[in-house]
Amino acid sequence: MGRSRAEALRGGESRWDGRRGRGRWRRGAPVLFLTASLGVAGFGAMEAYRAERSHRAAATGVLTDYGDFAAWSFEQRASELLAARLSNTFRPARSSAAFAGDHATEACLSMLLAPTGPSGCNCAPSRVAGSWAFFTRLGDPVGTGVWNGRNPPAEAQLRILESVQGHVRSEYVDGWSFAVLPLDGGELVAYTRVVNGGSPNDDTAPRSDTLVYGIELDRRAIAEVYRWALDDGSLLPTSLTQGQPNGNVIHVDVTGGDGTVLFASRPDEEPAYPAEIPVRPMFGGGTVRASVVPEMAEQLVIGGLPADRTPVFLMIFFLAAALAGAALVQLRREDHLARLRQDFVASVSHELRTPLAQVRLFTETLRLGRTRNAEERAWALDNIDREALRLTHLVENILQFSRSERGVPTGAREPADLAAETRGAVRDFAPLVPAGRASIRVETSTHLFAEIHRDSIRQVILNFLDNAVRYGPAGQVVHVRAERTAAGAVRIVVDDQGCGVSPAERRAVFEPFRRGEGRVGSAVAGSGIGLAVVKEIADAHGGRAWVEDAPGGGARFAFEIPPLETAGTDRSSDRVEPKPGPAGREVAAGVA
């Protein structure tokens, strides 16, 4: 038992929906895959970037650790050198025998500052001392002190004594042999605490009897000590430095507790991999900062420092994005081209159906003997011939376009007179013009010889004429000219009196399946390949084809190719007018 009509319709709709869904999937799948590939490329680039950053961070960490170790080694060595020199200076002052008695301060100051040092000391003068020294009693009022050397001004003396007495009460640690104190005035002072009449570490001695002996430290001499500490030995294992001097491997700078830079091995460079450790409080605080010299970083890290690959990763990602974008654009163009081809098939089918229907109609009329006389039979045969010519023209266009798409040559070219070919093509086209639609005026120069493929040139002229008649107004005059240009080229020009072609569309109308925006959706049928065929033929002949505004309004289509030889400029003219047909019908006449 057959299905009902409604079920059949529903089944047809279901199949149509399925085909439409598959079509959407076929169009959307490439976009999805391209988007996924772009995401994978982005993920890969990000992971590579992270790995590179991790590798670089590990290498930087190794170099920072080397700097930290070098800073520690440098601080240890510099502290030992400073301690040796300052201890040598303060040893006599801390000797209990040196200051026995209540009035030993003034007596012993000159002895301590003697060029050869105190008698029986057997020690060299300090190599870091400055220009002045002082004694003060911890219990005395501020300002009470004994100075020797080029003494600072009175206000500076008060500031120095006040700072030192405050520091010895709050910061000095028993067991230290001395302490270094940076002052706000820029002075750098080293001092020691001396207990009169007893051992320095004897806490039973009266605090009022505690003496403070201090000296100015020469910052240049301090920097010299730091230079010795840098140049002596190796701050890093020799297996890493391969015998290179410390100054070539490590950048070191020392900042005092007041923020003043006491030493910098490379003052004009900013450390690349800095590590900091504090200076001991007994030396005035501050920091030691050490950094591996950038030129040595490759040698100290196994495998060398990883190069910054960020620009490469970004370039790869953007290249992948650009390729994906280009692929999407190409897919869109392919989809657009597929729709254009579908429109082309529909348009060609429509153009084939109309003349075929006319041929069948008039053939049926003749076969059934429905014509009343010989004139009507001739009129019917003329219609059959006209529609057959229209079919031939359409099929030749399609074959020419197919050959050009496949790169198949059109055949051998031979010398020919373009004027004669133009007149012959117009004569062949005249029967295709509906009566009253248009008249064609031909104007040619003589002896326009060129090496051409005759059928292709005929196709160019027929396409230009067909385009002019289709889109021009009824009753227009189409002007056809074959002429020689001032440069010597051979040119065919067809002017119509239609609406013309806008400048924005003049290149597009020569592309396959493209029609001007004013033609799309109009009642005028068209396949969209006529002008594309013209351009292919022009390229094959080494010429060009274009469209511009006609002098009298409308569009001018031109075709230009190189000449074979120089020809004359005599001109001839014809006008093609429609003739009335029998029983009120009209046919297009040939060239008179």
Residue showing tokens 């080229």: 489
Q: How far apart are CA 587 and CA 576, in angstroms?
A: 12
Phi, psi of 209 (to 5 degrees): -90, 5
Residue pair 297/272 in contact (Cβ under 8 Å)? The answer is yes
Residue type, 570: D
CA 344 to chain CA mean position, Å = 41
Domain definitions of the chain by residue range: 1-308, 388-588
* Alpha helices, H only, 368-445: 374-406, 418-429
Residue pair 572/580 in contact (Cβ under 8 Å)? The answer is no
Q: Output the six-digit token pair for 439.
A: 């008249």
Tallying the residues shown for the chain, one arrives at 592
Superfamily (CATH) of domain 388-588: Histidine kinase-like ATPase, C-terminal domain (3.30.565.10)
Q: What is the residue-level pLDDT of the chain in tens, covering all 592 positions?
A: 455 555 555 555 555 455 555 555 566 677 777 777 777 777 777 887 788 788 888 888 888 999 999 999 999 999 999 998 888 878 776 664 444 444 555 555 555 555 444 444 434 445 677 888 888 888 778 888 888 777 888 889 999 999 998 999 888 887 788 999 998 888 899 998 876 554 445 555 444 467 888 899 988 889 999 999 999 888 888 888 888 898 889 999 999 988 899 999 988 888 888 899 999 999 989 999 999 988 888 788 776 666 677 777 778 778 877 877 887 788 787 777 777 777 667 666 766 777 788 788 888 888 888 778 888 888 888 888 877 877 787 777 777 767 666 665 666 788 989 899 999 989 888 888 887 788 999 998 887 889 888 888 888 898 899 888 888 898 899 999 999 988 889 999 999 988 888 888 888 888 876 766 555 444 455 566 788 888 888 888 889 999 999 888 889 999 999 988 644 444 445 544 444 433 333 333 333 3
Residue showing tokens 């579908």: 342
Q: What is the DSSP letter of 585?
A: -
Q: How far apart are CA 382 and CA 357, in angstroms?
A: 15
Residue showing tokens 């031909």: 442
Q: How far apart are CA 230 and CA 455, in angstroms?
A: 95
Q: How far apart are CA 454 and CA 410, in angstroms?
A: 10
In sequence order, the 6+-apart residues with CB closer than 8 A to the CB of 478 are 438, 439, 440, 441, 465, 468, 469, 472, 494, 495, 496, 497
Helix (H) or strand (E) holding 463: helix 454-471
E-state strands within 75-209: 129-137, 146-149, 179-182, 188-195
Residue showing tokens 């409308």: 554
Residue pair 403/444 in contact (Cβ under 8 Å)? The answer is no
Q: How many CA atoms lie within 13 A of 180 on its CB side?
A: 26
Residue 40 pairs in a beta bridge with none
Q: What is the DSSP letter of 442?
A: E
